[in-house]
Amino acid sequence: MDIEAIIAWILKNPQRYPGMQSRSQPRSNPSLKPLEPASQMQLIWKATVEYIHEKLLQGKGVNIPNFGAFTFSIETELPRIGSINPNLGDINEQRLERHHLHKNYPIFVPDASLQYVLSRYHGKNFLEKPASQSSIYQRGFQMIYCNPVPISMACYLEKNVVRDTHNAIFKAIKDLAKLGRTLHIPFDFAVIAISNLALDARFSKSFTRQVNEKGYEFKMRRSDDPCATFWKTTTQAKWRQSTLSHLWTAPSQAKTQNMNEKTLALKIMSLDLASTIRPHTTAN
């Protein structure tokens, strides 16, 4: 089952998955018309995937409550001094090429509630940390939670609609996994496959290559950013730089009004044509 089949399952069982996602909701932009529930949930899912992908490319991990966390496993190696060749360039440049620094491995850490359902999950701990660090926000690298606010802004929907959609989708994933269904949950950068009560996360080669480029290290290190940049950057400026801000462009008010006028004119024309039909007369 892919994400479309999971959404169809949710809409067929509204009593088990209550929330605002089961009904067509008004858009925050009056130029946009409400969508049917299935398209509405698919729109939110697409924006959620873009949100997670963008945060990972910024060097941050993202935790999705009741589902799991996307983060990195960093393997650090000691500099191999004997293998450094001065003819290959400056040592700092070689370090940025990660010949002597570390490797980033994108991983998916299932939530404890999801692991409980997946009885055949191998349970390997990709992140080895002390037992005192029980929270995923302590174990992951620069972990943040999946914020529904920017997703709702990109979809022109209310925040609670996005939250209810997330709760329904990830609850349905656990329910279907418990029933033994085979799930294929696609992200743009990875695929989460659940089969026979086991889980497998596979990341694309292009994404793995991106998080190991030499410029990616500067995104992971907070110390490289000056304090002035942090304090002077407004929320509006961050939103304009985000992929979600131009994921879907809303039509202008004038264009929407013109389309509505054409629709109304077509309706009136159809009524006029219907009124010109000659009535049938019955012979005496």
The torsion of the CA quartet 6, 9, 15, 19, rounded to 10 degrees, works out to 40
- Position 229 in a domain: yes
- Say what the pLDDT of residue 218 is: 74
β-strand pairing of 190-195 with 198-203:
antiparallel
- Say what the pLDDT of residue 131 is: 60
- Position 276 in a domain: no
Question: In which region does residue 116 sit, left (phi positive, over 0), alpha (psi from -120 to 50) or beta (all else)?
Answer: alpha
At 284, is the secondary structure helix, strand, or coil? coil
- Position 50 in a domain: yes
Cβ 145 vs Cβ 51: under 8 Å: no
- Say what the pLDDT of residue 221 is: 72
- Say what the pLDDT of residue 269 is: 65
Domain count, the chain: 1
- Position 255 in a domain: no
Cα–Cα distance between 152 and 20 in angstroms, integer? 13
Number of helices (H), then strands (E), in the chain: 12, 7
The answer to whether the pTM exceeds 0.85 is no
The torsion of the CA quartet 34, 37, 41, 43, rounded to 10 degrees, works out to -30
Cα–Cα distance between 132 and 119 in angstroms, integer? 25
- Position 149 in a domain: yes
- Position 11 in a domain: yes
Cα–Cα distance between 107 and 202 in angstroms, integer? 8
Neighbours of 272 (CB within 10 A): 9
Residues spanned by the domain of 174: 3-248
Average pLDDT of adjacent 10-residue blocks, the chain of 284 residues: 92 90 86 88 93 90 90 73 67 64 83 85 62 67 87 90 93 91 90 89 90 78 66 72 72 58 67 58 54
- Position 145 in a domain: yes
- Say what the pLDDT of residue 277 is: 56
- Position 279 in a domain: no
